[in-house]
Structure 1
Amino acid sequence: MKILEDFHLRHGAVLAGRVVQSPMVTRGSTEEGFVTEENIAYYDARSKVAAAIITEASSVSEHGLAFPNGLSFASDEHIEGLTKLAKAIKQNGAKAIAQLHHGGRESRVTLEREGTTYAPSQVNFSFLDHEPTEMTEEQIQSVIIEFGEATRRAIESGFDGVEIHGANHYLLQQFFSAFSNRREDDWGGSLEKRMAFPLAVVAEVKRVIVEANAPADFILGYRISPEEIHGDNIGYSFRESLKLAKELSKYELDYLHISLRGGYASTPIDESEQTSLAELFKEAIGPETALITVSEVFDLNSAEDALNYGDLVAIARAALIEPEFLEKIRQGKAEQIAQAISPQRMPIVKWPNGLIEWLTGENTLPDVPGIETIKK
């Protein structure tokens, strides 16, 4: 069974299976981003869910906080708790990967605390209730360093790797997007200049991995949204992001993780291209960089089919519902994988209270199957 095969990443890390838990915000930390018992319980329950577990979007900066009670790698004071978290994730052989994140204009917590957010350009976006502050050269350089410092903390905390969050309209994507980035300096304008900030972050993270004496098999991944087209608002096409993917692959990533909401077989918005986005990106990055695809995987059959499009398959809502997703496949009990959340499953899934409130309240997330059964 392909889903259970070991998978060897570029720098030597071996995953005991081809399922990865996708990063999902849990809102289980303290207001300052410190690890809590809720965090530990949530990840402890999922230590057998996949061969690698990517943490929720974890802040690298106090100026880029997007989620209330979100996990943070922004100071050395966080290392003690992060060490416990990494240990919980790794206890049954899964690799622990920290997703490093800066919200940019989407940093709602920073807005509440500081009265502004920070972005490539000061633009009056119709979907925001404020104008973000355009980042200075000094601020840009500071954020690049913050990604490196967060990487050092991940290494010191015992994580097996980091994933740089360059997707879902957060800061790195904002720099790459022509809709968000209106700069006329070295950080904006041409496609090459719009690539400069994401590539600078990757370069800094790579530098720190070497200088901090990380294990030789330390994992480096990057998450990307393959296109940004919302009606007449065009940030970039898939053809442009394929060029970014090719540049990213020059930094010898272990993997590229494409963010999809329409299913792992999704094709570009441009209907003239019928090849799946996953296949297009796999061709762009080449054989040495693994491709993780995601979306609409809830059982063994869909997980196996997803491997026709990428090297590894990430599960998100399925991991919320079934904390032993991969373990049940290993045990030959795939038919017992839970397909929906229910009141009876709540003691098993160990969702933090903040996550329960979010998923059962007003949000723009895809519905978790069965979520209506636990709404008050």
Structure 2
Amino acid sequence: MTYHFQDSYAFANGVTLKNRVVMSPTTTMSSFYDGHVTNDEIDFYSARAGGVGLIIGEVANVVPGGKGFEGELSIADDTDIDGLSKLANAMKRNGTKAVLQIFHAGRKSNDSILRGQQPVSASAVKAVFPADSQTPREMTADEIDELIVAFGEATRRAIAAGFDGVELHGANTYLLQQFFSPNSNRRTDKWGGDRDARMGLAQAVIARVHEAIATYADRPFLLGYRISPEEIETPGIRLADSLAFLEMLADSPVDYVHMSMGSAQRTSLNDKSDHEPIMKKFVAQLAGRKPLIGVGSVETPADAEAVLAMGADLVAMGREMIREPQWMEKVEDHDEASIRYQLSPSEMTELKIPVAMQYYLKGAFYSVMHFTTDPATAVDYQNEAAPMEGFEKKM
């Protein structure tokens, strides 16, 4: 059987994928203390490259103060380029394209991770989730200007390292989302205010990264943007806000939009009377002006086809690619019966899953990984948030 996701895809800027399957960012938590690449990370991605059309690598901080967790990649210094080059090369095996996600964690960090520094955000507003969040320091105007420059410099390094693009992480409650959210952005200067004004940082970062691509790239180079559709805090981002944000992205230089949801069938977390999948709303809002990467509990070929049938241009898998590195190869070989849909703890080392990541999967992510040793029924995230989305489910 052949599937639509096996078809190639050409972006408007000339980057062409051999198929429409994307490995979404998966946090390995396995970098050195200073953010340099480890062999564990190289082995993890090498084992999953070659079949899918595109790998979006795990997030890298653009400044040291933007670090959000231990074992996080850095792209904040030119000394990072050598290791990132090895990582890009591992991802690009057999024609797979490689994009690196870049970000600043903002208030989704703490003074332990930042070695004594207070986390920063748009405003000095403590996050509701997790419960032990720390109150951040409001960024100064100068710091915001420096951060915008840092995103451009990170893009220059990604180009030098051999990646095929960068993705701005504006989802999962990280800093770019914090500036857009009325929950975390209470500023009264030009970086705060009404909904359009709160888009300002994202617009400035997109413009700076686009400028860096035009200046330094000697080949077609992608600029993506990842977005979470809603927040559950009050006040917080609602679907109407995200659809307005999409309108801005449609008119921007970004090459694609990447959703972040625990289920591709997700309906509104806040309006239970709205039964239309959010992905269909995104497709309608973009109206073909930018390609959309759909994601969320995609495991089987039928799941992947369903995402494309809703109008997404590409389909991403994260957890399933952890469980089954050869997912695409097995589909191509008509060997779907051998695809792993569960993960045995005893096989994780064989699957090149770094030890730090193994502990993480068996801890915070245990309920979403389909472990063979987990007797619980799989959770359906159609109507609630998943752990990877940055906030706890609404009770």
Q: For the superposition of Structure 1 and Structure 2, which TM-score range results when normalised by the shorter chain?
A: over 0.9
Question: What corresponds to 2:206 in structure 1?
Answer: 202
State yes or no: 1:218 paired with 2:224.
no
| 1:1-376 mapped onto 2 (5 Å cutoff) | 1-108=3-110, 111-126=113-128, 127-215=131-219, 217-230=220-233, 233-261=234-262, 263-269=263-269, 270-309=271-310, 310-361=312-363, 363=364, 366-370=367-371, 372=373
Structure 1 runs not aligned, ≥5 long: none
Task: Give the Cα–Cα distance (whole angstroms) in 2 for the partners of residues 71 and 24 of structure 1.
Answer: 12
Distance in 2 (alpha carbons) for counterparts of 1:135 and 1:174: 12
Deviates more, 1:248-257 or 1:339-348: 339-348
User: 2:134 and 2:111 mapped to 1: Cα distance?
Assistant: 13
Q: Is the 8 A contact 1:65 1:109 kept in 2?
A: no
Q: How much has 1:50 moved relative to structure 2?
A: 1.6
What CA deviation, in whole Å up to 9, does each residue of 1:11-68 have, x standing for no partner? Answer: 1111111110010110111011101110111011011352100011111110010010
Q: Check conservation: 1:15, 1:95, Cα contact below 8 A.
A: yes
Cα deviation digits, residues 223-248 of structure 1 (max 9, x gap)? 00011123xx2311111111111101
Q: 1:37 to 1:364 in 2, by over 3 A?
A: closer
Deviation at 1:343?
A: 4.0
Tell me: CA distance 1:289–1:34, structure 2 relative to 1, closer, same or farther (3 Å): same
SS in 1 for 2:26: coil
CA distance in 2, matches of 1:129, 1:254: 34
Instruction: Write the deviation string for residues 302-334 of structure 1: whole angstroms up to 9, x where unpaired.
Output: 111111121111101100000011111111112
Q: Kindly provide the amino acid, as one letter, of the partner of residue 349 in structure 1.
A: L
- Aligned-partner residue type, residue 166 of structure 2: V
Decide whether the 8 Å contact of 2:152 with 2:212 is kept in 1: yes
One-letter amino acid of the counterpart of residue 342, structure 1: S
The Cα shift of 1:364 comes to 5.9
CA distance in 2, matches of 1:109, 1:259: 27
Q: Which moved more, 1:50-59 or 1:126-135?
A: 126-135
Question: 1: CA distance between counterparts of 2:367 and 2:177?
Answer: 21
Q: What CA distance in whole angstroms lies between the structure 2 residues aligned with 1:125 and 1:47? A: 36
Counterpart code for 2:267 = T
Contact 2:46 2:90 in 1 (8 A): yes
SS in 2 for 1:348: coil
CA distance in 1, matches of 2:189, 2:120: 17
Note the aligned Cα RMSD (angstroms).
Answer: 1.6
Mean alpha-carbon deviation: is it higher for 270-279 or for 309-318? 270-279
Seq. identity, %: 38
Asked if structure 1 preserves the Cα contact closer than 8 Å seen for 2:108 and 2:133, the reply is no
* One-letter code aligned to 2:264: Y
CA positional deviation for 1:273: 3.1
Moved more, 34-43 or 272-281: 272-281
Counterpart contact for 1:360–1:371, Cα < 8 Å: no
- In structure 2, do the counterparts of structure 1 residues 327 and 351 end up closer, same or farther at CA, with 3 Å as the change threshold? same
Deviation, 1:170, is 0.3
Q: In the aligned structure 2, how far is the partner of 1:276 from the partner of 1:287? A: 18
- Tell me if the contact between 2:36 and 2:74 (Cα under 8 Å) persists in the aligned partners: yes
User: TM-score of the superposition, structure 1-length normalised?
Assistant: 0.94
Aligned residues: 368
- DSSP 3-state at the match of 2:73: coil
Secondary structure (helix, strand or coil) at the match of 1:187 reads: coil
Unaligned runs of 5+ in 2: 375-395
Q: Which amino acid aligns with 1:291?
A: L
8 Å contact kept, 2:247–2:286: yes
Q: Which secondary structure does the structure 1 equivalent of 2:189 belong to?
A: coil
8 Å Cα contact 1:66/1:109 also seen in 2 = no
**Corresponding letter in the other structure for 1:257:** H
C-alpha offsets along residues 190-248 of structure 1, whole Å, 9 cap, x if unaligned?
01111101111111110100011341x21111000011123xx2311111111111101
What is the DSSP-based 3-state SS (H/G/I as helix, E as strand, rest coil) of the residue aligned with 2:65? coil
